[in-house]
Amino acid sequence: MTTETADASARRPDPRRARTRNALIGAARRLLADGRSAVSVQEITEEAGVGFGSFYNHFDTKEELFAEAVASVLDDWGDLRDQVVRGIDDPAEVFAVSFRMVGRLQRHLPELVRVILHQGMSVLLTDRGLRPRALADLRRGLDAGRFTVPDVEMALMMSGGALLGLIQLLDADPDRDDARASDDYARHVLLQLGVEREDADRIVALPLPTIALPV
């Protein structure tokens, strides 16, 4: 085997290695969703269905694994958000559609939602997933005169806190109408951001797109 061939083989993705890594991340996501972060590496590998020793081929500590699990959830949320706002130009409509869809997805993707809930407001401080997208939406809204709040970080924390409150409410009350609650929350957040009431009512009444949910 030539040096070039050996180098190419070393760079080629190993499907088994990828499956093991994904199994560990999936296990960590389930554990986080259940609020079980105080587990041993042995318990994590058992949940993942992989050998104990394989853990350290991918992560140095369980904290590193849990951080990657949270990041993967945030990336999934970000990808879903990108689907629902594609083709929408008005920053206020983009923001409202994203907000309304996240609320509705609580019923369909409870594991992803609970990972977010267990992280709390810290998810609004990481540069993965929803934060960079929300900041961009809010900045566009401010630049276009659609929002009137004085500071984009203030707007993010205000609206992000409301979003976390919405999904916590829906998680705690399975019988509550998720669509109505999501639209009501979105309307009030738009008002807080400076959108006129009549316009906010119009925006939250707009139809929502259909998206493909992750399996």
| Separation between Cα atoms, residue 172 and residue 114, nearest integer Å | 11
The answer to whether 164 and 111 have CB atoms below 8 angstroms apart is no
Q: What is the pTM of this model?
A: 0.75
Cα–Cα distances in Å, from 68 out to 28, 64, 201, 209?
Answer: 9, 6, 39, 30
The pLDDT of residue 181:
96
Question: From first to last of its 215 residues, what are the pLDDT tens digits of the chain?
Answer: 555 554 544 456 678 888 889 899 888 888 887 878 788 899 999 888 888 888 898 998 888 888 888 888 778 877 878 888 888 899 999 999 988 988 888 888 777 778 778 778 887 887 877 788 889 999 999 999 999 998 999 999 999 999 999 989 998 999 999 999 999 999 999 999 999 999 999 999 999 887 665 55
DSSP state of 55: G
The pLDDT of residue 142:
93
The pLDDT of residue 114:
80
| Separation between Cα atoms, residue 126 and residue 71, nearest integer Å | 9
The pLDDT of residue 19:
87
**Counting runs of H as helices and runs of E as strands, what totals does the chain give?**
10, 0
Question: Nearest-5° angle of CA 83, CA 150, CA 113?
Answer: 35
DSSP 95-128: HHHHHHHHHHHHHH-HHHHHHHHHHGGGGGSSSS
**Domain architecture of the chain: domains with CATH:** 15-60 (1.10.10), 62-205 (1.10.357.10)
Nearest to 47 by CA among 71, 23, 20: 23
The pLDDT of residue 9:
47
DSSP state of 206: S
